[in-house]
A and B are shown apart, each in its own frame.
Chain A
Amino acid sequence: MSVGQQPILELQGITKSFGGVEALRGVDFALYPGEIHGLVGENGAGKSTLMKIIAGVHTEFSGRFLVDGREMHFRSARDAHAAGIAMVHQELSVAPDLTVAENVFLGNQPTNALGLVQWRRMAREAGEQLARFGIDVDPMARLGDLPIGLQQLIEIARVLFSGARIVILDEPTSALSPPEVERLFTTLRRLREEGTAIVFISHFIEDILLVSDTVTVFRNGRKVAETASAATSKGALIEAMIGRGGEALEHSYTDDLMLPQPSGSKVILKADQLSLSRSLQDVSFESRAGEVLGIYGFMGCGQQELSRILFGKLKPDSGTLAVEGVPKTFASTAAARRAGVALVPESRRDMLFHQEPVYKNISISILDRISSLLLKPAQERDIAKRQVDQLQIRPPVVGLDLGMLSGGNQQKVALAKWLTYPPKLLVLCEPTRGMDVGAKNDVINIVRDLRTKGLAIIVLSTEPETVLSLADRILVLKRGALVREFKNEPVSKDRLLEAA
């Protein structure tokens, strides 16, 4: 990235909108050969949209797109690939049933004159490539038998060694252990010396500062800062990501919020040393009646797994749960429900029956409370009607198929399922994600109301605002371990991000 060098990739005034909503507004971006360029920004700031434009996934946008100084128009990801651009997506995309070597050479296996695959050559070359990466595995092993972190490293290796000149890595480190992250960084540095240009997206600002030369910060679809990594700090980057001065429409929680004195009320749930393979390590906490416990962390930090363990959907490898002092090992979600635990998962699709009427959705988890053998549809409808009125679900028609409701109203139905006979512990995953401001406020009010009624509530979210707007006490989960507890002290978005 020396002065006078021509950028390998240059974007000028990129604007992209989805259905009238501008995801990117006039973004300029330049990438130089032999540079590692870090990208940071909150969820929805526009990083991924920009990267998908570069990788040829989004082809409709306005602005100029130059590779090696020549204007390009990609029509597909294939075109981008032909231009030497490769991307590693956040979700693992490997073929677990094929061998390591086949995965490394996926799509371009070496063949002989007859078109037959040259297995020995493929295995040898795959082994050599992976060895450069510091990965020592049998190239003929089945990929799916390897640990997830190793699989991810192999996928990254495949892209890095595919001959691409521009490599985009989207959250490559979230599933990796610290030594694996170190290995990845060593390889990235070596590729940089060979002249490859690398874009590195991560929520882990330390990682960005450690490995990248330049950092670009996105906020609300705009590029708000670009600095040399050496000249900035974690605090400065977080400040740039969040923005000061009332730019955001909603309460942005940039100022300190005082958490209350922890309540001395009854412990409803006690989790002790919960561990789950690579997802969770020795997670211990208590959840009390009349208290909202917020658990904040980045995507992939183990929140999802934790919530599933609390509801008996996943079994921890080790560790114990106790509800009101009674040790529990949930054999099924039904057992967790009977013990007084309720879960609203982050995906409404997983929670609701879209082809069934609203009242059946609301009554399903309490049917055994209102009927032993025969159904009582009239009573079901009454109960549903009460919930629909109380939570102001629109339209207030309990016989309507759930699929006809808007997302926010569906989310309320997902809550309503548990409220007729309130559980002792309510676990909410991303309770306000993807909702408009009005629906968000409704949900927040419902949760606060339930707290007043004495429920123990756990809110797990990757959005700092959600946790800050609801929680009385906040735990920060980082790569599967609890790293910080906020209680009876001032907290803000900066402080949360800083801790994660």
Chain B
Amino acid sequence: MSSETAMATGQRTRGLAPFLRSQMRNIAPFLTLIFLTAFFAFASPSFATLDNLGNILTQVSVTGIIAVGLTFVILCAEIDLSIAAIANVTGIAVAYFTLQESYVNIANVPLPGAVAIILSLLLCALLGLVNALGLTVIGIPSFIMTLAMMQIAAGISALLVRGQIAYKVPSLITTLGSGSIGGIPWIVIVAAIMLLAGHLVLTYTRFGRYVYMVGGNREAAEYSGLNVKLILGAVMVISAVCSGIGGMLGVAHFGSAQQNEFDTYLLDSIAAVVVGGTSLFGGRGGIGNTIVGLFVLGVLNNGLDHVNIDSFLKILIRGLILLAALVINVYAQRLREKAAE
């Protein structure tokens, strides 16, 4: 069935070449997803099952939550390298403010669950605000600013846990991170709600339009009298808060809070956004693209576990797929510019 879809798309290409060329960034990731799904379904009987779909959804949830905010940032042609570190420190903070079992050797500050959650959210929002101020007021490029923030957040994490592992988080977080309702994990529902909310904000609100316009042509946005710095600052805070939520639920999902727990999520989140086709040059793409990107990564990671493959080779394959996506991303931008001429 998926090959039929591919063929139908192929036939339309000839009829609507310019349109499709301009839509390359949306079509390519989708074709990649279909191809990968077909490949793994063919290669492994255990892949294309409803159970496994649930696995994939759960596996991409934390990445999905973090990627919502990152999509805003990349749409503005900025980058946030501190997302994983901020996720980590927020997850650790929420544990730090929760009463741990006596055998956990952490000098923590037990507070009521709601207070712990609010304080942790404030922490990640504050770190995002520091990113925002560095970027807009001081004028540090986001690449460098968030690199510094990555270290700062990791440093706070280290100070809070001091090499130990904490286990307990507020019950609300435990439920959302590891519970399920009617067979559907709460974390998948949270990710879906946040992705939907992100999509609605980007598509239907004035702020969302500003994000696209600032990303599309920052100079023109400024000459249109938009407060570009305010918009850039806002997306950095949004990114940090999404990361923080992902971090709190992630800690509950993994069952522990410790240093360097989220390190792989930096690359995964950037990969999800970019593989999905959101332009690194800003102004093009969106949450829809990010969702496709999440599925591509999810199918790839999950599928490689189902086929008999050297587990060390997996890392290389993921790298190559990411490279291919970057090539397509840059190439799609050029095709689009050509189509516009």
A368 within 8 A of B: yes
Residue from the list B204, B216, B220 in contact with A374, Cβ < 8 A: B204
- Distance A342 CA – B224 CA, assembled complex (angstroms): 8
Chain A residues with CB under 8 A of B263: none
Over the window 315-341 of chain B, the binary record of Cβ atoms lying under 8 Å from chain A Cβ atoms (1 yes, 0 no) is 000000000000000000000110011
A404 within 8 A of B: yes
Chain A residues with CB under 8 A of B217: 352-354
Contact-residue bracket for chain B: 20 to 34
A9 within 8 A of B: no
CB distance from B260 to the nearest CB of A (A): 38
Is the pair B225, A337 in contact by a Cβ cutoff of 8 Å? Answer: yes
Is the pair A364, B340 in contact by a Cβ cutoff of 8 Å? Answer: no
Q: Known: A354-B217, A354-B340. Is A367-B227 also a contact (CB below 8 A)?
A: no
- Distance A375 CA – B212 CA, assembled complex (angstroms): 13
Is the pair A375, B340 in contact by a Cβ cutoff of 8 Å? Answer: no
Is the pair B224, A417 in contact by a Cβ cutoff of 8 Å? Answer: yes
Chain B residues with CB under 8 A of A181: none
Is the pair B206, A355 in contact by a Cβ cutoff of 8 Å? Answer: no
Residue from the list B222, B225, B227, B283 in contact with A342, Cβ < 8 A: B225
- Distance A404 CA – B341 CA, assembled complex (angstroms): 7
Is the pair B340, A355 in contact by a Cβ cutoff of 8 Å? Answer: yes
Majority-rule SS of A interface residues: mixed
Is the pair B206, A371 in contact by a Cβ cutoff of 8 Å? Answer: yes
Over the window 333-353 of chain A, the binary record of Cβ atoms lying under 8 Å from chain B Cβ atoms (1 yes, 0 no) is 110111000110100011111
Majority-rule SS of B interface residues: helix
Q: Known: A333-B222, A351-B223, A403-B340. Is A364-B213 also a contact (CB below 8 A)?
A: yes
Q: Known: A374-B204, A374-B206. Is A355-B225 also a contact (CB below 8 A)?
A: no
Closest to B284 in A: A355
Chain B residues with CB under 8 A of A162: none
- Distance A123 CA – B206 CA, assembled complex (angstroms): 57
Interface centre among B210, B213, B223, B341 (most CB of A within 10 A): B223
Chain B residues with CB under 8 A of A351: 220, 223-224
B226 within 8 A of A: yes
Chain A residues with CB under 8 A of B221: 364
Q: Known: A352-B217, A403-B340. Is A332-B223 also a contact (CB below 8 A)?
A: no
Is the pair A350, B205 in contact by a Cβ cutoff of 8 Å? Answer: no
Residue from the list A350, A360, A403 in contact with B219, Cβ < 8 A: A350
Is the pair B223, A404 in contact by a Cβ cutoff of 8 Å? Answer: no
- Distance A371 CA – B221 CA, assembled complex (angstroms): 18
- Distance A311 CA – B341 CA, assembled complex (angstroms): 30
Chain B residues with CB under 8 A of A313: 222-223
Over the window 224-248 of chain B, the binary record of Cβ atoms lying under 8 Å from chain A Cβ atoms (1 yes, 0 no) is 1111111000000000000000000
Is the pair A367, B206 in contact by a Cβ cutoff of 8 Å? Answer: yes
Closest to B229 in A: A332
Interface centre among A349, A355, A365, A374 (most CB of B within 10 A): A355
- Distance A332 CA – B208 CA, assembled complex (angstroms): 20
Is the pair A332, B340 in contact by a Cβ cutoff of 8 Å? Answer: no
Q: Known: A364-B213, A373-B205. Is A355-B222 also a contact (CB below 8 A)?
A: no
B162 within 8 A of A: no
- Distance A61 CA – B20 CA, assembled complex (angstroms): 41
- Distance A334 CA – B220 CA, assembled complex (angstroms): 12
B209 within 8 A of A: yes
Is the pair B283, A355 in contact by a Cβ cutoff of 8 Å? Answer: yes
A356 within 8 A of B: yes
Is the pair B209, A367 in contact by a Cβ cutoff of 8 Å? Answer: yes
A/B pair count, beta carbons within 8 Å: 82
Closest to B207 in A: A373
Chain B residues with CB under 8 A of A417: 224
Residue from the list B205, B220, B225, B336 in contact with A352, Cβ < 8 A: B220
Residue from the list A364, A373, A401 in contact with B224, Cβ < 8 A: A364
Over the window 360-382 of chain A, the binary record of Cβ atoms lying under 8 Å from chain B Cβ atoms (1 yes, 0 no) is 10001101100111110000000
Chain A residues with CB under 8 A of B222: 313, 332-333
Contact-residue bracket for chain A: 20 to 34
Is the pair A333, B206 in contact by a Cβ cutoff of 8 Å? Answer: no
Residue from the list A343, A360, A374 in contact with B205, Cβ < 8 A: A374
Is the pair B219, A401 in contact by a Cβ cutoff of 8 Å? Answer: no
Over the window 175-216 of chain B, the binary record of Cβ atoms lying under 8 Å from chain A Cβ atoms (1 yes, 0 no) is 000000000000000000000000000001110111011001
Q: Known: A333-B222, A334-B225, A404-B340. Is A375-B204 also a contact (CB below 8 A)?
A: yes
CB distance from B223 to the nearest CB of A (A): 5
CB distance from B199 to the nearest CB of A (A): 14
Q: Known: A337-B225, A365-B225. Is A353-B213 also a contact (CB below 8 A)?
A: yes
Is the pair A334, B226 in contact by a Cβ cutoff of 8 Å? Answer: yes
Closest to B337 in A: A355
CB distance from A237 to the nearest CB of B (A): 37
Q: Known: A355-B336, A404-B340. Is A375-B209 also a contact (CB below 8 A)?
A: yes
CB distance from B153 to the nearest CB of A (A): 29
Residue from the list A342, A350, A356, A367 in contact with B216, Cβ < 8 A: A356
Chain B residues with CB under 8 A of A350: 219-220, 223
Is the pair A336, B225 in contact by a Cβ cutoff of 8 Å? Answer: yes
Residue from the list A333, A343, A371, A403 in contact with B226, Cβ < 8 A: A333
Closest to A339 in B: B225
14 example contacts (A-B, Cβ-Cβ < 8 A) are as follows: A333-B222, A333-B224, A334-B230, A349-B219, A351-B223, A352-B220, A353-B213, A354-B217, A355-B336, A367-B209, A373-B205, A374-B206, A375-B208, A417-B224
Binding site for B on A (CB under 8 A): 311, 313, 332-334, 336-338, 342-343, 345, 349-356, 360, 364-365, 367-368, 371-375, 401, 403-404, 417
| Given A333-B226, A403-B340, 19 extra CB contacts under 8 A | A333-B223, A333-B225, A333-B227, A334-B230, A343-B223, A350-B223, A353-B213, A353-B216, A355-B284, A355-B336, A355-B340, A364-B209, A364-B224, A367-B210, A373-B205, A374-B204, A375-B204, A375-B206, A404-B340
The 6 closest A-B pairs by CB, nearest first: A337-B225, A334-B227, A403-B340, A365-B224, A364-B224, A350-B219
